[in-house]
Structure 1
Amino acid sequence: MRKAMTGLALAILTALPVAADPMNSDAARKQLFSAKDMILHPMGLDAFGNGMKRAVRLTLDQMKSRGQMLKFLEAGYGYYGAVAFPTNGNGEEPPTIISQLNSPGAAQQAAINACQSANGSTCAVAALLLPKGYSNRDLMLSQAATAKVVNQWDEGTLPKYLAFSPSTNSWGIAKGPGASARMAVESCKRSDCVVAIADQ
């Protein structure tokens, strides 16, 4: 079990989507996780000082229940997300929670940046918000973008394109007569947006 968890942790740490050729929506749906369930996945706490470890563990214990995960979902939080704390705080700092990014790696980086900006000190990620049954896959999208593909993609006429930003929570769709991959990238509004799904 320890080896399996170590392997999962390594896969999470390196899980930043790589730009590849777009896939059609049928192939995309096979890659994406359920848009309904999210779990809290604790990370190692070695980066935290002894005074912070206890406070971090207590906070994560309160967050990880199924009821709390449902409250997070109702409030608009979703995978991929990360929970960060100052590494040498006094134990009273609230967690910095970033969610709805397009990969675990992007969520970790965004949470660390936001935590360090808010606290003026070094931060580390203590847990991730992941889809239930997470594994590294060729296509990863935020929970909001996943829900759009799973539940509403078939609405409207061809062609259809979805673009996403590997480093942020941005994504965009272009549908219908005259739609193009370039329009989807423009609606995504980030310089690193790439087309992930194309039905023509």
Structure 2
Amino acid sequence: MRKGIWIGAVALAAGMAAWSAAAGPVPSETAAAQLYPVKPAAVTLTKSAAVPAADRALLEQALKDVTYYAAVAVSPTEGIRGPSAAVAANFHDIDNARRAAMRICGEKRAANARPCEVVAEVRPAGWEKGRLQLSAAATEAFADKYRSVRRAKALAVSPSTGSWGIGKGGDAATRALADCARLGAAGPLVDCIVVIAD
């Protein structure tokens, strides 16, 4: 899957900061040294009262196979079993996963419910701020597809959605941006940037 997964109204029972357009792309050797393994991922629960002690183990269990970077947001009024419970997964950094989960939860919560809050996050095991970050899906594609290309190549990502694309050949960067942009669920994406190029 090449895009972030947005799941709204989910019953859970059943740094991108390191990148900026100004920083420019890094070569694959740098990326390989900084990216995290696809597994294992680490689930962190916040100390929010929105998840009672009785539901904490349930939430951790529900997130054990969710791909990084991911966040869960709920309204404390409705809880993790309520209609506002939202998971945003497979993003390129935790901040954008948090924003997506909060937006989905906010759209789903009842008018009289308390504001949403992030109650859990999924990051790569050993996560450190400031390292190059890709979603688990894009990290896997980098290892399995990108690195085997023996000509000019580029990998682009959409920070706000988790989409990504690979381009090859003399216009690799342009192709990567186009591949990333066309994968937007709601039409072409405008925030794709090239983060790895060779």
TM-score, normalised via structure 1 length? 0.76
Alpha-carbon distance between aligned partners in 2 of 1:59 and 1:89, rounded to the nearest angstrom: 13
1:18 is matched with which residue?
19
The answer on whether the counterparts of 1:31 and 1:137 sit within 8 Å (CA) in structure 2 is no
Whether 1:27 and 2:30 are equivalent positions in the alignment is: yes
**2:105 equivalent among 115, 126, 145:** 115
Alpha-carbon distance between aligned partners in 1 of 2:29 and 2:81, rounded to the nearest angstrom: 47
Note closer, same or farther for the CA distance 1:91–1:102 as it changes in structure 2 (3 Å cut): closer
Alpha-carbon distance between aligned partners in 2 of 1:24 and 1:124, rounded to the nearest angstrom: 37
Letter in 2 for 1:26: E
Note closer, same or farther for the CA distance 1:160–1:90 as it changes in structure 2 (3 Å cut): closer
The answer on whether the counterparts of 2:19 and 2:195 sit within 8 Å (CA) in structure 1 is no
Alpha-carbon distance between aligned partners in 1 of 2:19 and 2:63, rounded to the nearest angstrom: 32
**1:98 equivalent among 84, 88, 94:** 88
Alpha-carbon distance between aligned partners in 2 of 1:85 and 1:16, rounded to the nearest angstrom: 25
Unmatched segments (≥5 aa) in structure 2: 1-14, 182-188
**1:185 equivalent among 177, 182, 198:** 177
Whether 1:79 and 2:71 are equivalent positions in the alignment is: no
**1:36 equivalent among 35, 39, 51:** 39
* Structure 1 SS opposite 2:147: coil
Whether 1:196 and 2:195 are equivalent positions in the alignment is: yes
TM-score, normalised via structure 2 length? 0.77
Deviations 1:21-55 (A, max 9, x none): 1111110011111112112111231xx4xxx441x
Moved more, 33-42 or 106-115: 33-42
* Structure 2 SS opposite 1:35: coil
Deviations 1:110-161 (A, max 9, x none): 0011111122342110010111111112421100001111233222331110
Following superposition, the deviation at residue 182 of structure 1 comes to: 1.6
Alpha-carbon distance between aligned partners in 2 of 1:179 and 1:136, rounded to the nearest angstrom: 32
* Structure 1 SS opposite 2:156: strand
RMSD (CA atoms): 2.2
2:151 is matched with which residue?
158
The answer on whether the counterparts of 2:31 and 2:132 sit within 8 Å (CA) in structure 1 is yes
Following superposition, the deviation at residue 17 of structure 1 comes to: 4.4
1:7 is matched with which residue?
none
Letter in 2 for 1:18: W
Letter in 1 for 2:19: V
Unmatched segments (≥5 aa) in structure 1: 1-13
Question: Within 5 A, what are the aligned runs for 1:161-176?
Answer: 161-175=154-168
